[in-house]
Amino acid sequence: MRLSYAPPGGQLAVRTGDRAQLLVVDVDPAHGGNASLARLIDAGIAAPTARVITGTGGHHLYYRHPGQPVPSRPLPGYPGIDIKADGGYVVAPPSTNRRTGRSYQWVTDGRAVEEMPPPLVSACLSQKGPERIPNAAAAGPVRTVAAGGISYPDQLLSCHLDAVLRAPVGRRRTTLYGAARGVARMVAAGAISHADAVAALTEVGRGMEQSEREICAAIAGGFRDETTAA
C-alpha cells in the first residue's frame, strides 16, 4: 500500500477514494463508534477485513473502493463512524497520535483488504440513516452530559437502547444485559445519572416485552459485572 500523503506534524497517511481503490471505515470510540460498529457487524453490514488500531483506541477498517463515487462523510445513522473515501485520507501506521502518545498499529491476523459487502456500499450511499425505532430516551426526560471523554452521550445512549430494540427474539435479554454494561460505563464517566440510566433501560426492556424479573436481572447483572470488570 503506497503512503501518498504526509499531513503536518510528520504523520504518515494513506489517500482514500476511487483513484486509490480504497475506502476506510473510521471508528471513533469517543463518539459512540464502538457501539455503532457492533450494530454494523450484527446487521451484516460490516465484514472482517484488514484493520488498524488507531492512536485513540479506535479502528480503521480497510476495504476496496466499490468503483462508484462515495463521499467522505459521517455514515448516516451510525454515530462515531466516518467513511473515508473520495477526497479523503487516514493517518497510517506507524504514526503516533500527538494527544495520546499511542501509535497506529496494523492488526496482524492475516486478513487482506477485502471487497465491501453490498449492504455497506448501500449504507455509504444512503442519504438518510436506518429507519428509527422510537427509543426509551424519547419516552421521558433523560439528561446526559458530555463527561469522561464521551462527547455525544445522547447519541451513545441511543445506540445502546437501539441495539436492544433491534435484537431478535431469543437474544433480547442478552442484548439488554450488554446495553446495561455499556450504559454503566456512561454512569461511571458521569455522563448520565444511575437513576436515569436504569429508567431508560427498563423502559426499553418493557418495549421488547421482557418481564419485570428479566429486565431487573439483566440490568442488575450488567451494572454488577461492569463494576467488577472495572
Residue after which a domain boundary falls, among 125, 144, 179: 125
Is residue 34 over pLDDT 80? yes
Judgement on whether residues 25 and 113 belong to the same structural domain of the protein = yes
The predicted pLDDT at position 6 comes to: 47
CA angle, residues 111, 114, 117, in degrees to nearest 5: 130
pLDDT digits (tens, 9 = 90+) for 57-99: 999 999 999 998 998 988 888 888 999 999 889 999 989 888 8
Total count of domains within the chain:
2
**Number of continuous H segments (helices) and E segments (strands) in the chain:** 6, 9
Judgement on whether residues 32 and 78 belong to the same structural domain of the protein = yes
Task: Please give the Cα distance from 200 to 161 (Å, whole number).
Answer: 8
Task: Please give the Cα distance from 25 to 28 (Å, whole number).
Answer: 10
Mean pLDDT of the residues in the chain: 84
For residue 130, being part of any structural domain is answered with: no
For residue 29, being part of any structural domain is answered with: yes
Domain range for 84: 13-125
Judgement on whether residues 51 and 107 belong to the same structural domain of the protein = yes
The predicted pLDDT at position 159 comes to: 80
- The pTM of this model reads 0.55
Judgement on whether residues 54 and 153 belong to the same structural domain of the protein = no
Judgement on whether residues 71 and 156 belong to the same structural domain of the protein = no
Count, residues in the chain:
230
State percent of the chain over pLDDT 70: 87
pLDDT digits (tens, 9 = 90+) for 159-216: 888 888 777 777 888 999 999 999 999 999 999 999 999 988 988 888 777 788 899 9
Secondary structure class of 165 (helix, strand, coil): helix
For residue 177, being part of any structural domain is answered with: yes
Amino acid at 34: N
Residue after which a domain boundary falls, among 125, 157, 185: 125
Is residue 4 over pLDDT 60? no
The predicted pLDDT at position 138 comes to: 41
Residue after which a domain boundary falls, among 105, 125, 145: 125
